[in-house]
Structure 1
Amino acid sequence: MRHGEFRHPRLVPVYDAECPWSRDDEWFLAVVSETPGVRVLDLGCGTGRLALALADAGHTVTGVDPAHASLDAARAKPGAERVTWIEGTSAVLADGSFDVAVLTSHVAQFLVADDEWARTLADLARALVPGGRLVFDSRDPEDRRWERWNPVDSRRRITLPDGGVVQAWTRVHAVAGGRVDFTHHYLFGDGEELLSSATLRFRTEKELRGSLRSAGFAVERVLGGWGGEPVGRGDGEFLVLARRE
């Protein structure tokens, strides 16, 4: 299944167990909270980990995601009533309705085609107020993260809340033109194996800056790590902070 960890009812809890609150969430929360009580869009909110924390911090939060199963999981979590959950893409966003928009967990890389990325940025510019902030992460292709996505280096054990254990590993199939095709394998204790395939786009810093400029954003800064390191000296990330002009 394409994007199975977000869409398959049995894999969504696995994703939640594998991706708990971490330093990237702390970074996004801190950046948004530089201004108290803002209207925040979490585009590609998934199961709501960050959206719920933003609401708990006093922000007015809307979580948008195309994956029904992920939103079901988000709506079932404590405090979910404080977030507005919308199933869809950036196309559903109302004009001028947000002060800040975030795309976390490398959601930007799932927008593979250049026209899809451009449409999304245009929608975000439309949905943000003038001067509104856009904050997102994308992996630096110079870090070549996909080279660690192999059945040996990527093998892991994921413990579920009920005590069950899932064996997981990743296999890359193709790398070309900034696109990486791969499949996550999940083997459950009862012997069922589920697959989740995807393609990610690894854009260069120059490509990201150019696409943002074309969409009407001014880039404030690009960091390379969750501790504020410069590009090339952090965690192999592009942490992008921009404003709608």
Structure 2
Amino acid sequence: MPPHRAGLDTARVYSDADAAALYDLVNPWDPGTYRGDAFHHELVMAAASVLDVGCGTGSMLAYAREHGHRGRLVGLDPDRAALDRARRRTDIEWLQATAAEADARTGCGFDLAVMTGHAFQVLVTDEDLRASLTAIHAALAPGGRFAFETRHPQARAWRDWIPANAGDVVDAAGRTLRTWHDVESVEAGVVTFTETTADQDGTVLRVDRARLRFLDVPPLHRFLADAGFTVEAQYGDWQRGPITPASREIVTIARR
């Protein structure tokens, strides 16, 4: 999955709404195809109530509802354009807020909280991580679980975020676009990069800038423990294999 979209520096010619629609096309939620989606879907369907932190356009919760989930489903995201798409589904609660506002906006008692699509990595500063984890912890019922993934820094995934790996996609309006990434800096575990969306002739429509933090296992454990979590399970891949020197993911299930 490409870097989680965190749009800044938005060109008016390609709106936030356009970008949100494009994100759905590039990143469809499909547990039947993608192992990461299947991993989270299994957890969601087994939980009576679910809080999706950084829900984006709401695809995960919509899929769960469509496939029989009858409990409380709440999606939380600061991106208004993404939530506008999510709100087409009216049998799910959608709230515009940050992770650090989770308990204040949603209340408490969730059986499961999730952050998918590497959204955990947008929590860049120590302060944001602590505030977000504390709020998610407070939103969970006693014994509730928090499931998320973060790219393992040892894999250096950002090395592939280069213009040579540009990809073409047909957007919702039927035009073929090209997107690519450029890494601006890698400092103290934080990668700053841009995502460019352009017409086929190279005309730039939009440039989004994002910062992602790559946490290794020991500091990740410290942040979770400081927020009151106990790590229940941790995997290096979506098949629930152990973390090894070759792992590209750190998949975590933490319990309140």
Q: TM-score, normalised by structure 2?
A: 0.87
Residues in 2 aligned to 1:146 and 1:49: alpha-carbon distance in whole angstroms: 25
Work out whether 1:184 is the aligned partner of 2:192: no
Q: Which amino acid aligns with 1:2?
A: L
How has the CA–CA distance of structure 1 residues 45 and 20 changed in structure 2, closer, same or farther, with 3 Å as cutoff? same
Q: How much does 1:196 deviate? A: 0.6
Work out whether 1:2 is the aligned partner of 2:12: no
Q: How much does 1:189 deviate? A: 5.1
Match of 1:241 in 2: 253
Identity of aligned residues (%): 32
Match of 1:51 in 2: 61
Q: Partner of 2:241: helix, strand, or coil?
A: coil
Q: Which amino acid aligns with 1:43?
A: V
Q: Which structure 1 residue ranges, 4+ long, deviate > 4 Å from structure 2?
A: none
CA deviation string 1:120-156 (max 9, x = no partner): 000011111110010001000001000111111x210
Q: CA RMSD in A?
A: 2.0
Work out whether 1:31 is the aligned partner of 2:8: no
Match of 2:169 among 158, 171, 176: 158
Match of 1:14 in 2: 22
Work out whether 1:215 is the aligned partner of 2:227: yes
Match of 2:185 among 153, 170, 174: 174
Q: How much does 1:75 deviate? A: 1.4
2:150, 2:250 within 8 Å by CA — same for their partners in 1? yes
Q: How much does 1:105 deviate? A: 0.6
Q: TM-score, normalised by structure 1?
A: 0.90
Match of 1:123 in 2: 135
Residues in 2 aligned to 1:84 and 1:3: alpha-carbon distance in whole angstroms: 29
Structure 2 segments unaligned to the other structure (5+ residues): 1-6
Match of 1:83 in 2: 92
Q: How much does 1:23 deviate? A: 2.6
Bigger Cα displacement from structure 2, 21-30 vs 113-122: 21-30
Structure 1 segments unaligned to the other structure (5+ residues): none
Matched residues, number: 237
Q: Which amino acid aligns with 2:108?
A: G
How has the CA–CA distance of structure 1 residues 4 and 145 changed in structure 2, closer, same or farther, with 3 Å as cutoff? farther
How has the CA–CA distance of structure 1 residues 86 and 175 changed in structure 2, closer, same or farther, with 3 Å as cutoff? same
